[in-house]
Structure 1
Amino acid sequence: MGKGNKDDRLSALPDDILVNILDRLNVPEAARTSILSRWWSQLCAKLSRLIINALDFLPEVVSRTNISVDEVVKINAAAAKATESVLARRNLGEHTTHLLSTTFYLRGDVPIFIGHAVGHAMSIHLVENVEFSIRTGKDHVAEIEGDDELVTWAREFMLFFDACPNAFGGLTSLDLWNLRFGESGISCILTTCKQLKHLYLYNCDSGDGSTLQVEHANLSVLCIVNCCLAQVKLNWLPQLTQLAFDGWIELQDPLVLGHVPLLRFGCSQNVRWKVWHLCSDN
């Protein structure tokens, strides 16, 4: 830009290019551009990737590895407010949302608030992929203060789950952390989440030495980490192409393979992870 030239060359770019640039930012970063002008604010309503992570609202001076309960409450509320605000700006049926991803904590009414907002958006907008990553505030097994805490969090999750059937019914990806369900808890989730393609379980089970039985028409990726499972039975997963697991109690025959036609019958060890991949012959 020459001296004294006040032309805004960035704003002169076509809208589709600018939206593509904004799509590469998280929601707080993209939202900051709306203060530039009313036109930039309208661009934010055209985003095709909406990624709302509670951790993005954490002050820069606070470490992500040591977040207090008060801070979790604040950033969770900020994520809920951002979810409502961003979805309210969308014009009915005008733009396809390729990805709607939200990461938040099991605290108070925030999960249900977000679930209702997402479920409503899915009913009136074109949304291709919806992701929930649901945290408890303790990311490592060593931080957990006993089984009762896991059970309490699982109950909180099920209250959220039961209150938001529309959101879970269209969910394509679900990450769960530190939950101890009842015997049929995970099976109930899989039955409701009919569109689910990706499931990540960290320290989730139905009790020490329990068995996880999995049946799902669309699930293609299953990750199981530090779950106190004796066995996982893949009964019927016609679309499963990748299974990753780490930290199981039992070392012998932890897997029972049923109908998994797209999964190679062999595994490769990569540092700590054991991964089963799509059959290379297809």
Structure 2
Amino acid sequence: MRTGEETCNGPAGGSGPRGGPSAHGPAPQGAAVPVPGACRTPSDAEITVTAEGLPPWLSPVARAADTLEPQQLSSFLPPESGRGRQSAVLILFGEGAAGPELLLMERSGTLRSHAGQPAFPGGSLDPEDGDPATTGPLRAALREAEEETGLDPSGVQLFGVLPRLYIPVSQFIVTPVLGWWHTPSPVGAVDLAETARVFTVPVADLTDPANRANAVHPRGHLGPAFTVEGALVWGFTAGLIDRILHHAGWERPWDRNRKLPLDWHA
């Protein structure tokens, strides 16, 4: 995620309206998706968010996205002050040789924050992305994914939006955007100063108990982790994957006593 400074001085996070189209689930085609607790402007153009036409195996994720509450995803929620860096990530599901898969990238080891961590493509909202309360996070997720991985956004169907979450260490207020990669395009690290590599991970590997553990930070923090594709996925990204697997009904029993220590650079 880039560390831009764009913010939105709206009402307190988490206190916005939740009527009409779901604030964090699939919306009718052409509908604006409200993000609770951010400011609004009338100038946002429409962007399509629909769960129509998804492959059947993605239906559990779409159903979960339509009902999940923020507390079901994380204990770190946007501050009531509303202060934070508005941002978005793209949780992109595709289908590869090994079946359903997720697109991830590994951040450059020279970055100031989250260096070397596997992550979803994403970053701060730019002014041209539009209203953070509606379509801004959708555009930002696609734009950042294109800038970081080179994917063609026209091959992506957005089918849901999860509740906004918070990363205290970097003060990001993150909107996770769900996508179906119906027409895959070539991807790779566009800027090696920002991205070390881009890779896909089969969902079957993420649900394999042999690849699951709890990462232990030197400060004592404990959280889900995955050892896949030569990478240790932990932190915010692993937490989201863990919750999606759980609420989609894909989780398999795994040894929660298995712990992997992180070093002080994490």
Provide TM-score, normalisation by structure 1: 0.26
Higher relative contact order (CA 8 A, sep 6+): 2
Going by fraction, where is helix more abundant, 1 or 2? 1
Provide TM-score, normalisation by structure 2: 0.27
